[in-house]
């Protein structure tokens, strides 16, 4: 995912600006503030009734257990009536309907906005302007040969921007299907998608992407008939287009053609395909998740019905900052709700280094985040106060006071601590944030509760996957201590299925999480075998995650069924595949790759090859015995460099490479119970055996 890979490039995350702010305060002021803070601690720890603001939401978060088709252990939201919800409005059943509903709700207000430059204010298009341009662009596509039917696929290879939305809306209104591409898929995956979907028309945002597609056409990897560019084509692209006999048009040219050959909308049906969303996958090529209009409408309804009159309430005055990739369903689901309400969506400039500047200019009320960004803010804030007793004291006192309120179900930003400690953090998020949502990967309870206290917002966490459109469950106000992923969305039921090989049983409230409802995908494109592996004959989606029901009825994720895990930025890791590549090195005999859902990087325990390791090291200019070399810091660096070079050569992505390694002279074996009789790694035993070394590697990492 482009976002997750580039978030690390932010020079000054939110916490960095917070630190700068704290450092600007003179010592005399700190002494005065400290005295005031100490004097008010006792007062603050008492129940200040005025702090119970309208942010406090009372919700019955008990999930009820129901029987479905005679099956046991099926849970559903207490808001569910006779069946899973399919829409928030009987008249809104497709994404074309969503936008028309938003057009009415907007009352002529802004729809999508962008910043022409770093120091410039946002410019806006109204809902009517977007709809008009979508009709022009869709008509232009039709004039250039596109069909108004769900068999017509239109590729989008672009960062979030106004033209992305116009393209999507044109497809939504003319019954075409959106197939997003994104950079981190890699060349082989791009080739696979272009070929599997037989994409003839692709909309791109810059010359680099146009060049990569045209080069693929030139090399005979796939064919394309029309490349539509949001920017002006350069000479290289123009020449490649001529060489490959591929038509290249600008976005404006297609709109102009459509304006002069205007077509009426051809609205889709709920069961029509809306998008094929390719997941990055864990092994092999990505899989194309087929999602219908009905899937997206149901998931929107299932999520927002839970809090549409309370903590998720939105209207046409709300503003959303769009920077998470639109190629993925999490961002599209949030944006969909904004369009439904007639609210505004402001796009970032495309440079994550400028994200906070965009936030400052936009002042969003709706702010989706991912754990990687949340963790960076958290770490930077604490790092900024670590060298000052008074600063640390104030932050700890402020946090303690607000966490005490949180335990009572009170979420507020109207305390003295918000004025003297947390106000700057809130202002860096725009100062108007009401709805913060996180998803894509787990975030620790400590960190998310810190953010709830610091920002004074509920901070909803969602759990799900692309195959469920986006969310399967979400957390709700009041459940701040369980570490759960919340209550089932109203659009699906959840059941747990026995995983006997790991001693998880549904009768004990533990098992593989399975979901069923109108938000569940219809299958993987042209891949019936993998579809059957994931979607059973009764329509239950098998997520591969292991969960447990908590006493309050909420769901907690505790394990993975298979040896696949997700890093903090949302990327899935298949460790055996990576280990197999690294053991191809002549210096390495065995590897145990480890990652954690709250960490963004992998670490590895490496067993050097006892027969070749000494010679290998000698060739690198380092001498010594086998065990001596295993304890040599310089050798460790050499082995890590060799592993990363080999991994890149074998096509591993950056997040699949270890950031740190531990060299051990002890082979994994059946005798020491680190291997099975068939010589497979016993991963739980390996984790237990090397826990201290793994904890040490993760110190100061990420």
Helix/strand/coil for 22: helix
464-518 residue pLDDT tens: 999 999 999 999 998 888 889 999 999 999 999 998 877 889 999 999 999 999 9
518-559 residue pLDDT tens: 999 999 999 999 999 999 999 999 999 999 999 888 999 988
Homologous superfamily, domain 565-700: ANL, C-terminal domain (3.30.300.30)
- pLDDT over threshold 50, residue 321: yes
pLDDT band at 7 (very low <50, low <70, confident <90, very high): very low
Please give the pLDDT value at position 66. 55
349-387 residue pLDDT tens: 999 889 999 999 999 999 998 887 887 788 788 878 878
Question: Do residues 96 and 108 touch, judged by C-beta distance below 8 A?
Answer: no
DSSP code for 421: I
Report phi then psi at 524, rounded to 5.
-90, 135
Q: How far apart are CA 345 and CA 112, in angstroms?
A: 5
Please give the pLDDT value at position 22. 39
Q: Where are the domains of the chain?
A: 95-336, 565-700
Q: Which residues pair with 247 in a beta bridge?
A: 226
Please give the pLDDT value at position 599. 87
Q: Which of 532-541, 595-604, 659-668 has the lowest mean pLDDT?
A: 595-604
pTM, two decimals, is 0.80
pLDDT band at 36 (very low <50, low <70, confident <90, very high): very low
- pLDDT over threshold 90, residue 337: yes
Nearest to 188 by CA among 619, 681, 653: 653
The CATH architecture one would assign to domain 95-336 is: 3-Layer(aba) Sandwich (3.40)
Percent over 70 (pLDDT), the chain: 88
Q: How far apart are CA 433 and CA 315, in angstroms?
A: 14
- pLDDT over threshold 80, residue 231: yes
Helix/strand/coil for 234: coil
Average pLDDT taken over every residue of the chain: 87
Q: H-type helices in 147-200, by residue range?
A: 162-173, 187-196
Please give the pLDDT value at position 540. 97
Higher-confidence residue: 54 or 610?
A: 610
Please give the pLDDT value at position 692. 94
CA trace torsion 632, 644, 287, 682 (10° rounding): -20
Give the HSE-up count for residue 99: Cα atoms under 13 Å, Cβ half-sphere: 27
Please give the pLDDT value at position 71. 64
DSSP code for 209: H
Please give the pLDDT value at position 70. 53
Nearest to 633 by CA among 660, 655, 671: 660
78-133 residue pLDDT tens: 898 889 999 999 999 999 999 999 999 999 999 999 999 988 999 999 999 999 99
Pairing of strands 71-76, 493-497: antiparallel
């Amino acid at each position: 995912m482009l976002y997750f890979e580039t978030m690390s490039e932010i020079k000054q995350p939110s916490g960095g600006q917070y630190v700068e702010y704290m450092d600007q305060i003179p010592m005399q002021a700190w002494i005065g503030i400290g005295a005031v803070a100490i004097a008010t601690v006792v007062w603050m720890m008492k129940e200040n009734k005025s702090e119970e603001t309208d942010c406090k939401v009372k919700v019955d978060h008990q999930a009820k257990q129901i029987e479905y088709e005679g099956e046991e252990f099926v849970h559903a939201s207490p808001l569910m009536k006779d069946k899973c919800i399919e829409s928030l409005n009987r008249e809104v059943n497709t994404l074309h309907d969503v936008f028309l509903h938003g057009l009415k709700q907007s009352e002529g207000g802004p729809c999508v906005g962008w910043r022409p430059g770093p120091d410039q204010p946002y410019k806006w298009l109204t809902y009517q302007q977007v709809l008009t341009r979508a009709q022009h662009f869709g008509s232009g596509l039709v004039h250039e040969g596109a069909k108004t039917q769900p068999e017509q696929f239109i590729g989008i290879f672009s960062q979030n921007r106004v033209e992305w939305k116009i393209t999507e809306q044109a497809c939504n209104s003319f019954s075409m299907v959106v197939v997003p591409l994104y950079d981190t898929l890699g060349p082989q995956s791009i080739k696979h998608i272009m070929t599997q979907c037989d994409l003839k028309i692709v909309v791109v945002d810059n010359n680099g992407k146009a060049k990569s597609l045209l080069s693929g056409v030139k090399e005979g990897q796939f064919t394309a008939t029309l490349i539509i560019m949001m920017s002006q084509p350069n000479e290289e692209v123009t020449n490649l287009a001529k060489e490959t006999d591929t038509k290249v048009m600008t976005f404006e040219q297609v709109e102009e053609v459509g304006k002069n050959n205007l077509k009426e909308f051809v609205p889709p049906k709920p069961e029509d395909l809306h998008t094929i969303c390719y997941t990055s996958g864990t092994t092999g090529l990505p899989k194309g998740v087929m999602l219908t209009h009905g899937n997206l409408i149901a998931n929107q309804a299932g999520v927002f019905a839970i809090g549409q009159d309370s903590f998720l309430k939105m209207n046409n005055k709300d503003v959303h900052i769009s920077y998470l990739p639109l190629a993925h369903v999490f961002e599209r689901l949030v944006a969909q709700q904004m369009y439904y309400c007639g609210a505004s969506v402001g796009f970032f400039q495309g440079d994550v280094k400028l994200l906070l500047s965009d936030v400052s200019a936009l002042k969003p009320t709706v702010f989706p985040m991912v754990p990687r960004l949340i963790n960076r803010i958290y770490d930077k804030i604490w790092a900024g106060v670590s060298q000052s007793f008074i600063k640390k004291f104030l932050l700890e006192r402020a946090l303690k006071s607000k966490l005490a309120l949180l335990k009572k179900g009170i979420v507020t930003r109207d305390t003295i601590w918000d004025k003297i400690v947390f106000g700057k953090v809130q202002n860096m998020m725009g100062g108007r944030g009401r709805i913060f949502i996180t998803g894509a990967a787990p975030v620790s309870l400590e960190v998310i509760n810190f953010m709830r206290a610091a920002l004074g917002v509920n901070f909803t966490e969602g759990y799900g996957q692309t195959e469920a459109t986006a969310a399967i469950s979400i957390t709700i106000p009041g459940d701040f201590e369980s570490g759960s992923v919340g209550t089932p969305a109203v659009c699906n039921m959840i059941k747990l299925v026995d995983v006997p090989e790991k001693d998880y049983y549904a009768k004990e409230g533990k098992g593989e999480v399975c979901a069923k409802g109108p938000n569940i995908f219809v299958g993987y494109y042209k891949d019936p075998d993998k579809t059957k592996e994931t979607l059973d004959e009764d329509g239950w989606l098998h997520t591969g995650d292991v969960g447990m029901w908590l006493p309050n009825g909420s769901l907690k994720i505790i394990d993975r069924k298979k040896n696949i895990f997700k890093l903090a930025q949302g990327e899935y890791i298949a460790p055996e595949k990576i280990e197999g590549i690294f053991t191809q090195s002549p210096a390495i005999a065995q590897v145990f790759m480890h990652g954690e859902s709250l960490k963004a990087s992998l670490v590895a325990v490496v067993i050097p090859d006892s027969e070749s390791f000494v010679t290998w090291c000698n060739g690198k200019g380092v001498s010594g015995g086998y065990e001596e070399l295993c304890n040599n810091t310089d050798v460790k660096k050499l082995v890590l460099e060799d592993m990363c070079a080999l991994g890149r050569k074998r096509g591993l992505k950056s997040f699949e490479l270890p950031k740190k390694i531990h060299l051990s002279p002890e082979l994994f074996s059946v005798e020491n119970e680190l291997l099975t009789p068939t010589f497979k790694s016993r991963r739980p035993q390996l984790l237990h055996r090397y826990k201290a070394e793994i904890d040490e590697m993760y110190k100061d990492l990420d």
